[in-house]
Amino acid sequence: GLKLGDMEGLDLKTLEFKKIPVKITVREYLSKTRNEYFTFIGSEGAKYIIEYLKDRISKGEKLTTDRFLISFNYGTNKRETLRTLLITREIRESMRKAGIDSRPYVLRRYFASQLSIGESKGYITHEWRQFLMGHSGDMESTYVNAKGNMSPDLVKVATESYSKCLKILETGNIGNSEDEMALFVKRSMLQIAGYSEKDIEGMDLSNMTNEGNITDEIK
């Protein structure tokens, strides 16, 4: 899995990220295409990670760059990594508590869907969208050198593009009330199911109480 050292700018002494969004390197052995690439998380994801790491430290764990980002029963169990089956189960249980009875894969579909919206709004180009999804494409073949590196200028462009998309990727801007959260979940599920923004705008989401019908669309 990802290691703490794969998260650029993480200061393990102060438990702070030096820069947002956080650049994350996905090593080749974790990539389906067996090609190393990078992606990002915004302030919302960074906040959750810091809270999680603080909890691990409070339980006696000494964090280093070689430690895994997600650890199993940290502080007591010798196993450092999570089995895919276990982490999938935990994610699905968390999704159910949020009212989404679907497979964890829909989270990737949500990310792809939101980036597509970002592309339509001019926040990100098609090439960068493909790259952030981990797909080998024109961007990688043209701009990544033989050593697998990309120029700092291009990394900066990728960072800026992702930053523009944060307004449609993060959930912190949707409000705190239960009604606002419910509308966000319904809208997100419809986007995952393939409905366009225009389609969703024509729906009465506030009276759409049967979320099971939406869930069936995205399974």
pLDDT digits (tens, 9 = 90+) for 15-43: 999 999 999 998 887 777 677 888 999 99
pLDDT digits (tens, 9 = 90+) for 108-166: 888 988 898 899 999 999 989 988 887 766 655 555 554 457 788 989 999 999 999 99
Please tell me the distance from the alpha carbon of residue 153 to that of residue 10, in angstroms, as a whole number. 21
∠ Cα 64 157 107 (to 5°): 65
pTM equals 0.72
pLDDT digits (tens, 9 = 90+) for 83-113: 778 888 888 888 788 777 778 888 888 898 8
Are 53 and 62 within 8 A, CB to CB? no
Of the candidates 54, 37, 165, the residue with the CA atom closest to the CA atom of residue 110: 165
∠ Cα 38 43 47 (to 5°): 105
Q: How many CB atoms lie within 10 A of CB 84?
A: 9
Tokens of 189: 């599920």
Longest dimension (CA), the chain: 55
25: phi then psi, degrees, rounded to nearest 5: -90, 125
